[in-house]
Amino acid sequence: MGATTSNAYQFGQNTQLDDLFREAYERIGIIGNEQTPLHVQSAIMAANLELAAWPGKGLNLWLVQRLMFNIYPNQPIYPLPPYIVRVLELSAVVPIRLNTGGTAFSSAGGNAANCFDPNAIAGCIQTAPNGYISYDYGAGNANSILYVGITPLVTDTYTLAVEYSFDNVTWITAYLSPSQQYNVTQTNWLVIEQAVNARAWRIRETGGSTLAIQQLYFDQPTNVGTGDRLLTALSRSEYMALPGKMNQGFPSGYYFDEEIIPTIILWPVPSTNNQATSILYTGYRYAQDVTQMFQNIEVPQRFYDALVAGLSSRLSLKFKPERYQLMKSEALESYAIAAKTDFENVTIRFQPDFGRYGY
């Protein structure tokens, strides 16, 4: 009889950074009982530097994320999150709101129905932290929500989970948003990339804040009119050559300004009769920070060896310089092997890239 297997796939889910740090140090000859708090701090810094360098080595598909923001008449410039490295595609969109025929509910006081009534300005002010606001489309009805918009009544910091339910009893997480500031009257959008058809949807605060929401949007892409419209990327020189940078109309192009806080500049500038209300874009971002050794790392399992090899290379330079060349070669090879798994199996198309992303 053959040997039994674990019948589990937990390595990539339960592995913590302390295990990866230990492996990296052992590769350069520093075993567990020789590792000090200084070694831990060095490993944390080395891990962040290694992850920060990866976008420059090529496109990692697990760092590609769709995001969305509202556009406003006569406003050309829109700041993006600071973790965005560059923008891959950008479209002007008109999301369709699904806010009729169902029942709104608040878990902690307030009037949840106000959040789904476009004419209501009172919103829903909850009376306890970590509450949720939901919308039940009813038995026999199911909607796939791709865009969730949150307009707060007051400026506050929320850490939101977007969840769905097939029976309005048991809830499944579709999206976990990092802690971020939501500014009064400004709509923040969360793009749900793992949406399914479900009876009920909700947002739930998980960071200890008390929800005060003016409007809550559960939206889908439009299925009427011209639909989403892809915008053309403009180079710095092309944007500078535009004679009328504040000309108004339906945006047809954009310039990605790669600053410390990256920005998108639209052209023409959105007008008051512009049909599009939002911009949906594909952002290439950095991985989440490493802050302590007892946490999971935002890296897919297929890149674990590349991360450990990169850590070993960086740490050997400081603690075992005689092993640096060997570890550096190992790091290059491990990353190249992992990168071979990160590709799209589609018809090949060529698009010139004049950025500084070669390796």
Burial of residue 280 (CB within 10 Å: 0-12, 13-18, 19+) is buried
Residue 349 maps to a domain: no
Q: Are 130 and 207 members of one domain?
A: yes
Question: pLDDT tens track of the chain, all 359 residues?
Answer: 566 888 888 888 888 999 999 999 999 999 878 888 899 999 999 999 999 999 988 888 889 999 999 999 999 999 999 999 999 999 999 999 999 999 999 999 999 999 999 999 999 999 999 999 999 999 999 999 999 999 999 999 999 999 999 999 999 999 999 899 999 989 999 999 988 999 999 999 999 999 999 999 999 998 776 788 999 999 999 999 999 999 999 899 999 998 889 999 999 999 887 777 899 999 999 999 999 989 888 999 999 999 999 999 999 999 999 999 999 999 999 999 999 888 765 555 555 555 554 44
Which residue's entry shows tokens 């919308």? 135
Distance CA 203, CA 339 (A): 35
Residue 65 maps to a domain: no
Residue 354 maps to a domain: no
CATH number at residue 198: 2.60.120.260
Residue 90 maps to a domain: no
Q: What is the pTM of this model?
A: 0.86
Residue 31 maps to a domain: yes
Residue 284 maps to a domain: no
Q: Are 32 and 148 members of one domain?
A: no
Q: Are 214 and 307 members of one domain?
A: no
**What is the domain extent for residue 301?**
12-59+293-339
Question: What Cα–Cα distance (Å) separates residue 2 from each residue in 8, 9, 113?
Answer: 17, 20, 60
Tell me the sheet residues that pair with 264.
78, 256
